Amino acid sequence: MDDAIRAFMTFLAVERQASPETIRNYHSDLRQLTAFLTQAQPTPQTQRSLPISDITTESLRAYLHWLDRKGEKASSLARKLACLRSFYRFHVREGTVAKNPAADIRSPKLPKNLPRVLTKDDANGLMEFPEGDTALPLRDRAILETLYSTGARVSEAVGLNLGDLNQSDGLVHLRGKGRKERIVPIGDVALQAIQTYRASLKQATADNRPATPLFLNHRGGRLTARSVARLVSRHSSRLAGGAISPHALRHSYATHLLDEGADLRSIQEMLGHASLSTTQKYTHLATDQLLAVYDRAHPRAKAGKTPPNRKDRPAR
């Protein structure tokens, strides 16, 4: 199994050019499967190295059932199953195994929850929450402004280098999923926040070469996605609706663009979605918000709702 995993990781990195995050997640999933099966089938052979050909559909079902009992989310189960399918497709092509034992396992049904979207007032307020004129609060504000201004995924934002900014044209170069790249607009307010942050850095960390990470941690290294998630959660916890994830800023970016008249194709390109159907969920968000406003504001939105001051009007 160890050799099979190494071969698959090499395939993902070299041929598929998968992102480091995908490679890390898939490697973790396969290690977790190996550990589960080794404990579930403790034989001298499995303790040494579990043969990939010995893993059956029933073995994989038992693994997924174990994860489900542990309370694993449906989205995580779906990702792990996708990993297993890809892993075995590769080894079927390589001739390591004769068939794909994950092919006949049905994917878990995912809930169709609409993502949380900030109001425009909340989004504007969040940008102002980092306070202070030292490097860390200025960095936090620059990150928040960049996420909301560009709709970047958190992994794309932390992957930004100085050379990815085209300040004169107001553009930024993002590297997305599957090594796909795109150029999107970035607003003047976000650019100004970035400039202020970079100007605040001490000379020792103010490296201005194009390959230098744009956002730095307190040690001068590249900021991680997990650190950005923590800082977004910390600052957004002051909002009335509670803390949000960085992805909520991406959802808010798309929904607010749609509210202001941007067309779906343009939003699709800026978000880096491969399919327009992925972008279309924002039409549901915008429609739901519109209906909510209508229901609250219109005097005859719902049956039995009495128009304001109707009782005080004189009869005619």
Residue 148 pLDDT level (bands cut at 50, 70, 90) = very high
According to the model, what pLDDT value does residue 46 have?
A: 46
Give tens-digit pLDDT for 152-172: 989 999 999 999 999 888 888
CATH code for the domain defined by 120-296? 1.10.443.10
**Closest residue by Cα to residue 255 from 228, 278, 282:** 282
Backbone angles phi and psi of 130, in degrees to 5: -65, 120
According to the model, what pLDDT value does residue 302 have?
A: 61
Active site residue 148: no
Q: Bigger pLDDT: 312 or 156?
A: 156
According to the model, what pLDDT value does residue 283 have?
A: 59
Residue 291 pLDDT level (bands cut at 50, 70, 90) = low
Percentage of the chain surpassing pLDDT 70?
78
Residue 182 has pLDDT above 70, yes or no: yes
CATH of 2-94, one of 1.50.10, 3.30.1070, 1.20.120, 1.10.150: 1.10.150
Active site residue 282: yes
Structure tokens at 79: 């990702």
Give tens-digit pLDDT for 17-39: 777 878 898 999 999 999 998 88
Q: Which of 153, 175, 251, 256 is catalytic?
A: 153
For residue 309, the 8-state DSSP code is T
Q: How far apart are CA 226 and CA 231, in angstroms?
A: 9
Q: How far apart are CA 220 and CA 207, in angstroms?
A: 10
According to the model, what pLDDT value does residue 203 have?
A: 61
Side by side, the strands of the sheet bearing 171-175 are 165-166, 171-175, 181-185
Structure tokens at 191: 């650019």
**Closest residue by Cα to residue 280 from 258, 304, 256:** 258
Residue 107 pLDDT level (bands cut at 50, 70, 90) = confident
Domain boundaries, the chain: 2-94, 120-296
Task: Return the minimum-mean-pLDDT range out of 44-48, 89-93, 146-150, 301-305.
Answer: 44-48
Mean pLDDT of 255-279: 72
Q: Which of 139, 250, 251, 256 is catalytic?
A: 250
Q: Which of 85, 177, 182, 281 is catalytic?
A: 177
**CA distance to 89, 109, 244, per residue, from 186 (Å):** 40, 37, 22
Q: Which of 61, 79, 222, 247 is catalytic?
A: 247
According to the model, what pLDDT value does residue 296 have?
A: 60
Beta bridge partners of 171: 166, 185
